[in-house]
Structure 1
Amino acid sequence: MVFRGFARTAMGLLAGGCFFCSVAMAVPAGSNPSLDATAIRVDAGGVHYTIDRQTLAVDILTSAGEKIVLSVPAFTGVEAKNFVTTEGGVQWTLGAGGSGTSSSLKSGQLQIRVNPVGDELEVAFSPQDAQSSVTWPVQPLNVSGGKTLLWPRGEGNAIPLDDAQWRDFLRAERWDTLESLSMPLWGLASAEGVLSCVVQTQFRNRIEFAETREGEGLTLSFTHEFRPSEERWLTFRFQFEPGRDASLIRPALNYRAWLKESGEFRTLEQKAVESPAIRLLAGAPHVYLWGGGSLTRFDLTRGAANKLAARLVQQVASAEASPGKHLHKYFTKDEWAATTELAGSTYQLPYAQAAICAALSRGVESADFYDPAAWINAELTTATRGLLSESLQGSALVQRNCRLLQEAFPDILPPVEKWGGSFSAAMLDAFSSAGLNRLRLGLDGSDGLVQAGKADFVRDAVARGYLLGPYDSYHSIHDPATSGTDASWPTAQFDAALYETGGIMNADGTMRKGFKQRGYLLSPLAARPYVERRVRANFDAAPYNYYFFDCDGFGQVYDDYSTAHRATCMADAAARVDRMAWVARTFGVAVGTEGGSAYAVPSVALFEGVFAENFGWGDTDMSEKASPYYVGRYYPPEAPDVFFKPVPAKEKYVRENYDPRYRVPLWEAAFHDAAVSGHHWSAASMKFENVETTVTLTELLYQVPPMYHLNPEVFAKQKAKIMKHVKAWAPAHEVSAFLPLTEFVVLSEDKRVQRTRFGDRLEVTVNYSAEDFAEAEGDELVPAGGAVMVLDGERLVVR
């Protein structure tokens, strides 16, 4: 990957091994670098760069006469030699100094190539030793002058360098350009302008921050590890855009341009040619459905569950054969206790309703559900009787059993067509009647929809223009002996052969542990045949038009030393991307994944977790019940607190993830028309109550879909709030999804009024403050806590 903006790909200090590094610098068209005994001078777009030939210290002199340090000396005890002037650039070699000299290059050599590319300076390195590292640039970040670090963490942070808390945050983290940062770039904004730094590759980079010896700020050090058989040149591009009005998204715009130049950029329009369902992402809020099944408490009218419980208890107590007596075997001890309680109560008792429906659903999904003796007195329809002689499996079997259950209690249970809770036509009708014309519907990670025999629900949703698909994961593999226990989950279960041979191996021969330290991380190379079998089975079960892969876009890629499937981290990433591309290409569906790392963007349509990350891992305040920040239990199944219960976010996480003063839409600037970004499902739009308004406004500003966790009951309660937002957001996103983010401007000194532009069709101005805002005297106001959207000349005020 190449980045053209905030130079985050600086490389330098060569550590260990025999190194040959070549650096290339770019000079503007029509000019040549000038060389003297100590330095190389390059002019790029009216900005003058002075590069020390031996230490690779770089100073920038702007057109206004301001001096900016791009890198302090990164090499010592070296000799610069073998200078060659190429067309528009210079190439030379750094080698160890004379005898008795201590060299940071050790005994190696480093080729350096410098040449101007338009108004950017390109610097490239190549080591003689294929397994070595280079640290450069070593960039001082002075706290004076109101400087801001533009940092591609998720969507992007704008980090004030005079803020001690933010400096501590930068120093405390281990930064790489795969997992912790979404793109290989960074930038530095000041009163003088914006310095953009972009690196060509995402792989094997790390960035470290340290306090300067003078205590006046931080030093950013960029290190790249070289490996045999991988790219031998490390390339950076730097650009300085002068002036107070320089774009804060310039690094991302430069990265986008470099990707286009390299042929690594694909728009949603281009992806939709082979996967037409992608077009349905435009204007589609993201919804996770809960409380779906064969029969759910949402399917029963008030009092019906009590009546059903009473009938079951009565039949079980009777000596005669009956449906109820037969069904008793599907109840756990706790479920039957809840049923007995419900039978003697006039209250609804939702937990008891859920218990009885869970047991009955387990029954209808079983092959031994029908017992002729139990149904001997039931008045079955001719259609149902006709199904008794057929050999049925899967969805057809479940549907027959549902008919048997309904016809056993026809005065209590509604028609089978109305069953399913969130997996019902009634749920889809509720969405449609509310005005939700497009939705991306996600499932909870289980295969409950197929088990419940709800393939028709999928067909219905797709026919209405909704995207619907399963969650799937090939991140971890567990011991088959743990299948069906709390120590495992369905997507981590394969067979014994893959468990024994498919794990990713460390260099020391140990296996990489899986998620939550369970099992192993699964090699994407070894997994591929299993991926294709499972995916095909999922599409055979239901006609999905969407598919979600957990983790594959998150940046968690690895060197694998197993002799059965040896791979570099680059090959690992390529295999993960290829399986997602295979699904999109083979089935013509929209494919989504977790994360938003740039390597996956050319092949994936949707990324969950870019806009709002999953944060707080290991924070006991979020996991202990007594804390006000406790996110909640994974219970009840139809509305787990962890997703449904609103709680406040800690101030630390508000600053890092939501406060608009510290956000900048770098990811959208690079990729808005290439992929749709979204929330992580643990941080949906209404999860954190103290930032809900901020989230809603930023969804408008960045044109990012809202995400909701819903079941029939919750949607009925939240419909008015949801629809108020969606009616403003959706028409704009139907247009903006296919447009680039071209401009981001901070309009107020307190940074609480911001504006974005998408192509030449949409402008969004958001006011996060508590006071109305006018850009100039006489202008129309942007309301406090509101927005103004102008789509194709039509103005909409959102309050």
Structure 2
Amino acid sequence: MKKYTIYLSLAAITLSLSACNFNKTNASNKSEELIVNKEIEKNKTYAKTDFSFDVDPATFTVSITENGKKAEVSKPQEAKEVTDLKKSKDEISWTYPTEQINVKLKKEKNHLAVALTSLSDEDTTFIWPKLDAKNYVLPIAEGKTIPNNQKEWLAYFKQNEELSMSEAFSMSFFSTNQETFATTFVMDNTFNSDMLTSTEPHLKLTANHHFIGFDKNKTLNYRLYVTDNDPVAIAKTYQMDRINLGEFKTLDEKEKDNPEIKKMRGAIQVYYWNSRILTTEDIKWGKLPKMVDEPIFQWIGELLTQYGEDGSEEYLKALAAFKNNEGYKYEKNTFLTSINYVLLYPQFYNKEIFKNPDAQAQKLIDKGIDKLSEQERYDLNKHLLAGVLGDLTPPIKQWGQATSSDVFKEMKTSGVENAWIGLPNWANGLMNPTMVKTAADEGYLIGPYDSYQSIQENASIDWNTASFPNQELYEHATVTKKNGEKVAGFLGKGRKLNPTLIFPDVEERFKGITQNGIPFNSWFLDTDAAGEIYNDYSPDHLTTQTEDVAGRLKRMTYFDQNGLVVGSEGGNDFASKEMAFAHGIETPVIMWSDPDMRENKESEYYVGSYAALDGGIPSKYKKVVPIKEEYKAIYTDPVYSLPLYKLVYNRSVITSHQWEWDSYKIKGQVGERRMREYLYNTPPMMHLDKEAWEEHKQDISDNAKIWSPFQKAALQHEMTDFKVLTDDRLVQKTEFGENLSVIANFSDQDYEADGLKVAGQTALIIHDGKETVVKTEG
């Protein structure tokens, strides 16, 4: 892994990215609002108005003429029968009777409006447009520019011949670069639409639309914009389209309704792993061999036998080893894993084992075991266990704090002013509410991972997100395919839930988790913004993809209205108004389908497993791995990357990496990815436990001191410009308003221009004329 440090120029010691920039008066707020309005006004100028169009109804070929240059922007299809042809100066319409599709094109002031309407009550498909261009600009993740003959992209599209646009595209458009202008096809949304790819002799794309018979909305709208061949023009034109549709909401606007969102500004992103309330530091291991025959330890074995997915065999072997004074690291971890696991069990209380509960435990027992909240149940179990372990452990209030609360306090004192902390499950917080309170008290955001994607009929305690008290959901609230089959849940387990049918269950879960006042101030919703959406053909609850998304947005809004800062996986922009942050836009999941990465544990590319023997970070998130050369063009090479999403949503959604690919994950690319984090205003993300914090704390704290004020400044503006400064595309520049810019030099050669010098493999931040250098060392 490259090691990297951050060097500050003397001019930057008085860093203009300082707190004084962010403690604004009302007057300066109004001034900044005017600046932003000016930035938005400029965005209205990118879409050209002086173009004309021609169309051949039989083949649905569309040509655009701009400034005397004509280009076929949608290629001809096989000729079809045409009826009801009507034509005027700026408008033409017709019907394809065989396909039962009505088509209407109309020249508006700054775009060509195209409406495709199904006349059928059955499911139908229709292809348009067909694209064959030298280069494509696509909103794949953050954004890509793709030459039609680039070999790695051709290989990628050969494996992915049919892309669901709602999943594969972060925004609802696709663009082609013509010889003298760009054409951008903007849709209201990408639901029920696929992008079909052909790679012979070069890359060609075709949009395929599914009209659903029971969907009352039978019309698909396109707006075809003409701009310069510039990704800024393309992105800003799309942004104005979203604003005109009422589908754009800034962080400023979101903060007025939920002030907690302010804490996201300048925050590093941390997934924190502390699944144990009892840790190795909490056990007096020398006392254990004499205690292993105590009834409590036999009872734990019985619980594991009856309710544990892996049974009690390894636990009992560990006990035997301790009895023989042969308990080493593996046995200690097995012992701790088992104890922490059974503390989650509602069946933990046994009056024959726990004969003398303390006052707190007795109070909870008297309340009635079946009437306890989840947090109260964990509290009871901890007190019961403490009562029989005696001085084997310290007082309960100390359990687990050295590996959780103490780390958060140290983060703050080391200079990490702003952080979002995600827990892998709400149970981690309910078992250790002191940890959650400490994070909140330090001014951090902290929240659990939650999911309403799947339901299992008999979910184990490991799959609590797939478990619901309502027993009717499995049969009556799950998604059915057109052929009558149920859609399988995550990893093939259980079924997919219909989000329109489970809102009361969302409320019930949330109220159950928070009823004792645990101070979560954020919530992360798995997959809700990832575009994995469905038409549900269940006869008693027919549901369109549009309604599916509306159900997801309703629950995102619910959490936001409860004062929680809401984020989701993916970040696709149908959810941009409802979420404050997203994980997956900057680095999405890399190649699910590659066995070397997912199955072959001997491969250097194997990303790791979900298991963590020591209760800390699973190897899937901790192990540093290279990625194959052929994947770099697709996922990480700056040559093919564009900040399209940031050009549209910089002031609206804070985006980072998908959690499997944090800032430290990719071998040999840590420094390069840091440079792009500044170039694209992308928060650094890392998986931490106490050990990982100790390993990385100097780097994290040094970087946070630069990152936090930088992002707070960048979020005050649009990303106003993006430039490629060299022919090899390895030196790039972004601008945030008039006074903040970043130049990233991804090459090994120094770059000099306009009195500035940027060394190879460094990024330069320029704010109000003052410079900060982000530099990597080999």
2:106 alignment counterpart = 114
**Greater CA radius of gyration, 1 or 2?**
1
1:335-369 deviation digits (Å, cap 9, x = unpaired) = 3544665687799x543333333344456667867
Preserved CA contact (<8 Å) 1:441 1:467 = yes
1:669 alignment counterpart = 647
1:516 alignment counterpart = 491
1:432 aligns with 2:415: no
Following TM superposition, by how much is the alpha carbon of 1:499 offset from its aligned partner in structure 2, in angstroms? Answer: 1.2
Preserved CA contact (<8 Å) 1:309 1:339 = no
Task: Please give the secondary structure, in 2, of the residue aligned with 1:534.
Answer: helix
Following TM superposition, by how much is the alpha carbon of 1:211 offset from its aligned partner in structure 2, in angstroms? Answer: 5.0
1:607-640 deviation digits (Å, cap 9, x = unpaired) = 1111111122231101211111111222223221
Following TM superposition, by how much is the alpha carbon of 1:108 offset from its aligned partner in structure 2, in angstroms? Answer: 4.5
Following TM superposition, by how much is the alpha carbon of 1:660 offset from its aligned partner in structure 2, in angstroms? Answer: 0.6
Task: Please give the secondary structure, in 2, of the residue aligned with 1:722.
Answer: helix
Task: Please give the secondary structure, in 2, of the residue aligned with 1:739.
Answer: coil
Q: Mark the CA change 1:374 to 1:484 in structure 2 (over 3 Å): closer, same or farther.
A: closer
1:634 alignment counterpart = 610
Preserved CA contact (<8 Å) 1:745 1:756 = yes
Preserved CA contact (<8 Å) 1:92 1:113 = yes
1:36 alignment counterpart = none
Higher helix share: 2
1:463-497 deviation digits (Å, cap 9, x = unpaired) = 221111111111111112xx3288x5543455432
Once the two structures are superposed, the pairs formed by residues 285-434 of structure 1 within 5 Å of their partners are 285-297=268-280, 299-300=281-282, 305=283, 308-316=284-292, 332-335=312-315, 337-338=317-318, 341=321, 349-362=328-341, 386-387=359-360, 389-391=362-364, 395=375, 413-420=393-400, 424-434=404-414
2:90 alignment counterpart = 90
Q: Mark the CA change 1:316 to 1:353 in structure 2 (over 3 Å): closer, same or farther.
A: closer
Preserved CA contact (<8 Å) 1:315 1:325 = no
Q: Which residue identity lines up with residue 426 of structure 1 in the other structure?
A: D
1:68 aligns with 2:71: yes
Q: Distance in 2 between matches of 1:53 and 1:414?
A: 80
1:520-555 deviation digits (Å, cap 9, x = unpaired) = 111112222211101111222422111111111111
Task: Please give the secondary structure, in 1, of the residue aligned with 2:576.
Answer: helix
Match of 1:135 among 124, 127, 132: 127
1:584 aligns with 2:563: no
Preserved CA contact (<8 Å) 2:115 2:222 = yes
Matched positions, count: 707
Task: Please give the secondary structure, in 2, of the residue aligned with 1:745.
Answer: strand
Q: Distance in 1 between matches of 2:99 and 2:313?
A: 74
1:683 aligns with 2:666: no
1:787 alignment counterpart = 763
Following TM superposition, by how much is the alpha carbon of 1:782 offset from its aligned partner in structure 2, in angstroms? Answer: 1.3
Q: Which residue identity lines up with residue 285 of structure 1 in the other structure?
A: I
Preserved CA contact (<8 Å) 1:523 1:565 = no
Task: Please give the secondary structure, in 2, of the residue aligned with 1:295.
Answer: coil
2:502 alignment counterpart = 527
Once the two structures are superposed, the pairs formed by residues 159-198 of structure 1 within 5 Å of their partners are 159-173=146-160, 174-189=162-177, 192-198=180-186
Preserved CA contact (<8 Å) 1:316 1:328 = no
Q: Which residue identity lines up with residue 220 of structure 1 in the other structure?
A: L
Following TM superposition, by how much is the alpha carbon of 1:59 offset from its aligned partner in structure 2, in angstroms? Answer: 2.7
Q: Distance in 1 between matches of 2:750 and 2:484?
A: 62
Select between 629-638 and 679-688 the one with higher mean Cα deviation.
629-638
Match of 1:749 among 727, 731, 734: 727
Select between 545-554 and 752-761 the one with higher mean Cα deviation.
752-761
Q: CA RMSD for the aligned pairs?
A: 3.2
1:9-66 deviation digits (Å, cap 9, x = unpaired) = xxxxxxxxxxxxxxxxxxxxxxxxxxxxxxxxxx953344333455442333342x44
Following TM superposition, by how much is the alpha carbon of 1:424 offset from its aligned partner in structure 2, in angstroms? Answer: 3.2
1:732-783 deviation digits (Å, cap 9, x = unpaired) = 112323532221111111111111112334211111111221134xx22112
Q: Mark the CA change 1:287 to 1:573 in structure 2 (over 3 Å): closer, same or farther.
A: same
Following TM superposition, by how much is the alpha carbon of 1:663 offset from its aligned partner in structure 2, in angstroms? Answer: 0.8
1:273 alignment counterpart = 256
1:556 aligns with 2:532: yes
Q: Mark the CA change 1:280 to 1:628 in structure 2 (over 3 Å): closer, same or farther.
A: same
2:141 alignment counterpart = 154
2:440 alignment counterpart = 462
1:500 aligns with 2:475: yes
Following TM superposition, by how much is the alpha carbon of 1:293 offset from its aligned partner in structure 2, in angstroms? Answer: 2.5
Select between 595-604 and 69-78 the one with higher mean Cα deviation.
69-78
Task: Please give the secondary structure, in 2, of the residue aligned with 1:748.
Answer: coil
Preserved CA contact (<8 Å) 2:105 2:112 = no
Q: Distance in 2 between matches of 1:232 and 1:633?
A: 45
Match of 2:116 among 112, 119, 125: 125
Match of 1:249 among 222, 225, 232: 232
Bigger relative CO (Cα 8 Å, ≥ 6 apart): 2
1:605 alignment counterpart = 580
2:595 alignment counterpart = 620
Q: Which residue identity lines up with residue 65 of structure 2 in the other structure?
A: L
1:594 aligns with 2:594: no
Q: Mark the CA change 1:326 to 1:196 in structure 2 (over 3 Å): closer, same or farther.
A: closer
Q: Mark the CA change 1:108 to 1:361 in structure 2 (over 3 Å): closer, same or farther.
A: closer
2:4 alignment counterpart = none
Q: Which residue identity lines up with residue 424 of structure 2 in the other structure?
A: D
TM-score by length of 1: 0.81
Preserved CA contact (<8 Å) 1:182 1:667 = yes
Q: Mark the CA change 1:756 to 1:409 in structure 2 (over 3 Å): closer, same or farther.
A: same
Task: Please give the secondary structure, in 2, of the residue aligned with 1:224.
Answer: strand
Q: Distance in 2 between matches of 1:496 and 1:371?
A: 30
1:223 aligns with 2:201: no
Task: Please give the secondary structure, in 1, of the residue aligned with 2:549.
Answer: helix
1:648 alignment counterpart = 626
Q: Mark the CA change 1:402 to 1:222 in structure 2 (over 3 Å): closer, same or farther.
A: closer
Following TM superposition, by how much is the alpha carbon of 1:185 offset from its aligned partner in structure 2, in angstroms? Answer: 1.1
Q: Distance in 2 between matches of 1:202 and 1:661?
A: 27
Task: Please give the secondary structure, in 1, of the residue aligned with 2:175.
Answer: strand
Q: Mark the CA change 1:791 to 1:537 in structure 2 (over 3 Å): closer, same or farther.
A: farther
Q: Mark the CA change 1:447 to 1:386 in structure 2 (over 3 Å): closer, same or farther.
A: closer
Preserved CA contact (<8 Å) 2:456 2:466 = no
Task: Please give the secondary structure, in 2, of the residue aligned with 1:294.
Answer: coil
1:50-94 deviation digits (Å, cap 9, x = unpaired) = 33455442333342x444221223462545765354xxx633332
Task: Please give the secondary structure, in 2, of the residue aligned with 1:581.
Answer: helix
2:53 alignment counterpart = 49
Q: Extract unaligned runs of 5+ from structure 2.
A: 1-46, 305-311, 366-371
Task: Please give the secondary structure, in 1, of the residue aligned with 2:223.
Answer: strand
Task: Please give the secondary structure, in 2, of the residue aligned with 1:158.
Answer: strand
Identity of aligned residues (%): 25
Q: Which residue identity lines up with residue 243 of structure 2 in the other structure?
A: K
Task: Please give the secondary structure, in 2, of the residue aligned with 1:741.
Answer: coil
Preserved CA contact (<8 Å) 2:404 2:690 = no
Q: Which residue identity lines up with residue 652 of structure 2 in the other structure?
A: A
Q: Distance in 2 between matches of 1:441 and 1:107?
A: 52
Q: Distance in 2 between matches of 1:150 and 1:589?
A: 35
